[in-house]
Structure 1
Amino acid sequence: MLSAILGLLADGKFHSGQDLGKALGVSRSAVWKQMQLVQELGLEVYSVKGRGYRIPGGVDLLSAEQLIKGFSPAIADKVELQPIEFTMPSTNAAALTGLVVPGNCSRLYVAEQQTAGRGRRGRQWVSPFASNLYFSLTWQFSSGVAALEGLSLVVGVALLRGLRKLGVNDVSVKWPNDLLWRNRKLAGVLLEMVGDASGECNVVVGIGMNVNMPRQEMREVEQPWVDLTEILGEAPSRTRVLATLINALIPTLEEFVEKGFSGLRDEWQAANSFQDESVVLQTAQHNIQGLCRGVNDTGALLLETVNGVEAFHGGEVSLRAS
């Protein structure tokens, strides 16, 4: 019933308790109880006597039907959309659980809200309801973990390609897994792998992208951020954004399987946030200062220090401007 009542309130207009009850086949008291559940999702509900209930600005719910229609013919048979969940702990966690189920297609897991969304290094990923995108795609590789170096950078290239299709320019990539717009975070990538180090393995590609972040949520975000609404003035529907990103992501992953990261290196490097700038690489033990010289053919960061140009691989590391 919660899904149905949100569908009715999605237009942002007032709907009387009587009309909602009639549409849902329940009493006005049951409608009131559903409104409490709507508020528990973090949505603001206006209640005005004599007029009814409304969600200011409406709510942009994801549509599984429209998402599937938005997939290009080239990828439609390569991705299997799982039921879109209103709320779940983490799309990556759900995808990792789903890896035990055999199948030929990549599986796409999507949620309107995450209650335990994760970024790299154990950080929380703020995931307000029906505001941004939180999704995970499973992908199978047959050449072992060693061949997956640079994969997070490849995903960044795919997201850049998709965003350009939406008219979003000036986006840069921050090694190893963030997308920035004018030095503010727009999206992040979290990869998790299961399988044989030298043979068949499965990867979960988790992506979070800010589309229309509620301003009251910004207090929970620890770094400068931006969303598509600010960049474009008015963001496309989240369903359209997601379809466009998946249409770019799957062909780019196929390109990576065929060419490796070296075939995509120049494209990543052209969008490098810190190219030739002074940066600090933070590891668990040390802070290393140097000039960012891009990445090598495996996706390792090239840092020019007092010892010369050194290569650093991803993991529990963080890069920031000096």
Structure 2
Amino acid sequence: MEDLLFILSNGKFHSGEDLGKKLDISRAAVWKKINKIKALGLPLQAKKGCGYRIIGGLDLLKKEEIYANISPIAKSLLVNLKILSTVSSTNVFAKNIAEVSNSCGYIVLAEAQTEGRGRRGKSWISPYGCNLYLSLVWGFSGGVKEIEGLSLAVACAVLRGLTKCGAKNIKLKWPNDLIYEEKKIGGILLEVVGDPSGYCQVIIGVGININMPERFSQHIDRAWTNISKLLNPGVSRNILASSVIEELLLLLKNYKNLGFSNYKDEWLMNDNSIGKWVQLEMMSNSVVGFVRGIDSSGGLILEVEGKVQVFNGGEISLRECK
């Protein structure tokens, strides 16, 4: 199917006969592949006398283009870059790799996820060829103490990558969302495998809405938007992916020594919630308070009924009070 998608990605009509010749398969085999593409939900058009096309074309991920836009320093930290057509979840795929080997510097991207996951067990809607679904594995020798505040630092790194591609006025929402004009544009999911007090590997999952079709709104439980309208002209998914990968690798290279304190001010400069009343939803209860900032480990400093409390990430959701 991937070979047919590559041909159709230019958005032009291709007759069934021409497709069969290019792929060296029968018309019946072409038809089977066409049906598989339809099942992906792509805007496939069939027109008598013209053939088939994907309306608007597809900006497919290409390893060589991503590599070409990563600096030598970042490239030296990248041990493997794998691009999958469809996967249940890039985080699950990367986690499976990390559980059986030292995979520090392993990155996997996918065109689509069938069981994409966000924080708090929520689904991450992941249609084919539209957005960025990325997971990166990185090792830490000092256990979970070394990764305090990492999810917030990762959000800062992703923001840097998006800004390099022209996106402006994107804000950060504790603990690890990226938003634009109060609408979600991306999110981050961290998972850990290994020894919590010794060598462990962190799977960093990043999802960015680039060209999410409007028809998927019915499956998303909060306001969202796409980043494509904010990017410089000519910025492809591959360039965006390389920019985000570059910033993530450079962050991770130095995180053990620098820690979150090196990124705290950057977070505060882009924090969308500071100075606002918010409601925190936790597993068993909720609290309303005034956001005073974040502490040195990335915990949220909240004034609740006149008393200052610090809340750490995990299964907590933050919503601004109306």
Which TM class, normalised by the smaller chain length? Answer: over 0.9
**2:21 aligned with 1:22:** yes
Q: In the aligned structure 2, how far is the partner of 1:99 from the partner of 1:287?
A: 35
Q: In the aligned structure 2, how far is the partner of 1:238 from the partner of 1:232?
A: 11
Map Cα deviations across residues 66-90 of structure 1 (whole Å, 9 max, x no partner): 1122221111121133431111100
| CA deviation after TM superposition for structure 1 residue 233, in Å | 8.2
Q: In the aligned structure 1, how far is the partner of 2:234 from the partner of 2:215?
A: 19
Contact 1:132–1:211 (CA under 8 A) maintained in structure 2: yes
| CA deviation after TM superposition for structure 1 residue 105, in Å | 4.3
For the residue of structure 1 that corresponds to 2:225, the secondary structure is: coil
Q: In the aligned structure 1, how far is the partner of 2:52 from the partner of 2:233?
A: 25
For the residue of structure 2 that corresponds to 1:163, the secondary structure is: helix
Contact 2:165–2:232 (CA under 8 A) maintained in structure 1: no
**Which amino acid in structure 2 is aligned with residue 286 of structure 1?**
N
2:235 — aligned with what? 236
For the residue of structure 2 that corresponds to 1:245, the secondary structure is: helix
Q: Could you tell me the percent identity over the aligned residues? A: 42
Give the RMSD, CA atoms, in angstroms: 1.4
| CA deviation after TM superposition for structure 1 residue 286, in Å | 1.8
2:191 — aligned with what? 192
1:312 — aligned with what? 311
**Which amino acid in structure 1 is aligned with residue 49 of structure 2?**
G
2:287 — aligned with what? 288
1:201 — aligned with what? 200
Q: In the aligned structure 2, how far is the partner of 1:104 from the partner of 1:21?
A: 40
What is the TM-score when the length of structure 1 is the normalising length?
Answer: 0.96
| CA deviation after TM superposition for structure 1 residue 197, in Å | 1.9
1:67 — aligned with what? 66
Give runs of aligned pairs for residues 124-139 of structure 1, distance below 5 A.
124-139=123-138
2:36 — aligned with what? 37
| CA deviation after TM superposition for structure 1 residue 229, in Å | 1.9
1:92 — aligned with what? 91
**2:275 aligned with 1:276:** yes
Ranges in structure 1 where 5+ consecutive residues have no aligned partner: none
Q: In the aligned structure 2, how far is the partner of 1:252 from the partner of 1:181?
A: 23
1:7 — aligned with what? 6
Contact 1:281–1:317 (CA under 8 A) maintained in structure 2: yes
Q: In the aligned structure 2, how far is the partner of 1:82 from the partner of 1:75?
A: 12
| CA deviation after TM superposition for structure 1 residue 321, in Å | 0.4
Contact 2:104–2:139 (CA under 8 A) maintained in structure 1: no
| CA deviation after TM superposition for structure 1 residue 125, in Å | 0.2
For the residue of structure 2 that corresponds to 1:75, the secondary structure is: helix
- Describe the shift of the 1:134–1:19 C-alpha distance in structure 2 as closer, same or farther (beyond 3 A): same
**Which amino acid in structure 2 is aligned with residue 54 of structure 1?**
R
Contact 2:166–2:230 (CA under 8 A) maintained in structure 1: no
Map Cα deviations across residues 99-138 of structure 1 (whole Å, 9 max, x no partner): 1343464100111100000000110000000100111000
Q: In the aligned structure 2, how far is the partner of 1:321 from the partner of 1:215?
A: 24
Give runs of aligned pairs for residues 142-181 of structure 1, distance below 5 A.
142-181=141-180
1:255 — aligned with what? 254
2:45 — aligned with what? 46
Contact 2:151–2:176 (CA under 8 A) maintained in structure 1: yes
Q: In the aligned structure 1, how far is the partner of 2:178 from the partner of 2:256?
A: 22
Q: In the aligned structure 1, how far is the partner of 2:230 from the partner of 2:219?
A: 21
Q: In the aligned structure 1, how far is the partner of 2:13 from the partner of 2:65?
A: 26
| CA deviation after TM superposition for structure 1 residue 228, in Å | 1.4
**Which amino acid in structure 1 is aligned with residue 53 of structure 2?**
R
Contact 1:77–1:105 (CA under 8 A) maintained in structure 2: no
Q: In the aligned structure 2, how far is the partner of 1:308 from the partner of 1:156?
A: 28
